[in-house]
Homo-oligomer: A and B are copies of this chain.
Amino acid sequence: MTQVVILGAGNVATHLYRAFQKTEDIEVVQVFNHRPEKLANFPKTSTTTAISELKAAHIYIFALKDDAILKMANIIPDFGSLYLHTSGGIGLDALSNFRNYGVFYPLQTFSAKREVDFAEIPMCLEANSEKNLQNIKKLATGISTRLFETNSQQRKALHASAVFVCNFTNHLYTIGADICQKNDLSFEMLKPLIKETASKIEQLSPEEAQTGPAIRNDRKTIEGHLELLDKNQKNIYKLLTASINNLHGKKL
């Protein structure tokens, strides 16, 4: 049985905790967080707000914001265990004052209100030694079927890609919803299109899947759309239209 202490109580910590709860070989022996009110999410497990009360474990997981990982890495004592962080944004070396350390980055978007299926989540793994990597793989195998070894530069690139395909995409949904609202239309109307746009790339590459006025260079439609957008939406529309046109135009 691998014993784990989770440091943090946010979305990543909570979803990781739930995933570990479903396994037989991994036991979360404690959850640590500075703010006690957040620890109510872990009713079945020992919790603490004090570093001096940290329990012994094989693995300590820093499931914290980037700044907090960097800060806590200097405060948590090295018990000789394996120390991991879950961040896409910071390097392996953030934990280099421990003897055994690595990265355990789940490439997914987590919200408090929504369950996710961990089995499908790509786990991006990195460690300071082959032995530690094997232990991280063992941990990851317990919750996911998709393990990837990625170095810190690759993980940073993945994180940047994720900002485009997740955070920015969601913002485009927000703009779509805003345009609907201003025109007395239900955002529900766009949902089948959003679903199909995401599903399409299971079958086609995103380049093959590209449609719309920008790729056709349909100036009349583009001008018509610009008329009904606010200033910020107009800037985004123009920049993305030019980007599509440049990319696909070059290939024609």
Instruction: Count A-side interface residues using an 8 Å CB cutoff.
Output: 96
A193 CA / B122 CA spacing, docked (Å)? 9
Please determine whether B169 and A113 come into contact, CB atoms closer than 8 angstroms: no
A60 CA / B195 CA spacing, docked (Å)? 30
Any chain B CB within 8 A of the CB of A134? no
Any chain B CB within 8 A of the CB of A52? no
A192 with B114, Cβ < 8 A, contacts A157-B182, A171-B243 known? no
Main SS class of interface, A = helix
Please determine whether B160 and A164 come into contact, CB atoms closer than 8 angstroms: no
Q: Which residues of B have CB within 8 Å of A201?
A: 170, 173, 191, 194
Please determine whether B109 and A225 come into contact, CB atoms closer than 8 angstroms: no
Q: Which residues of B have CB within 8 Å of A202?
A: 191
Q: Which residues of B have CB within 8 Å of A107?
A: 189-190, 192-193
Q: Looking at the complex, which one of B171, B189, B233, B240 makes contact with A158 (CB distance below 8 Å)?
A: B189
Please determine whether A193 and B162 come into contact, CB atoms closer than 8 angstroms: yes
Any chain B CB within 8 A of the CB of A244? yes
Any chain B CB within 8 A of the CB of A36? no
CB distance from A178 to the nearest CB of B (A): 9
A87 CA / B83 CA spacing, docked (Å)? 57
A215 CA / B165 CA spacing, docked (Å)? 15
A237 CA / B239 CA spacing, docked (Å)? 11
Instruction: From A21-29, A96-104, A216-224, give the one contacting chain B.
Output: A216-224
Q: Which residues of B have CB within 8 Å of A190?
A: 107, 158, 161-162, 165
Any chain B CB within 8 A of the CB of A141? no
Please determine whether B228 and A156 come into contact, CB atoms closer than 8 angstroms: yes
Closest-by-CB residue of B relative to A212 is: B167
Please determine whether B224 and A156 come into contact, CB atoms closer than 8 angstroms: yes
Any chain B CB within 8 A of the CB of A174? yes
Q: Which residues of B have CB within 8 Å of A80?
A: none
| Contacts A156-B224, A163-B214, A167-B211 known; 11 new A-B pairs at CB < 8 A | A109-B211, A111-B204, A120-B192, A157-B183, A163-B237, A165-B190, A165-B193, A165-B194, A167-B214, A169-B194, A171-B243
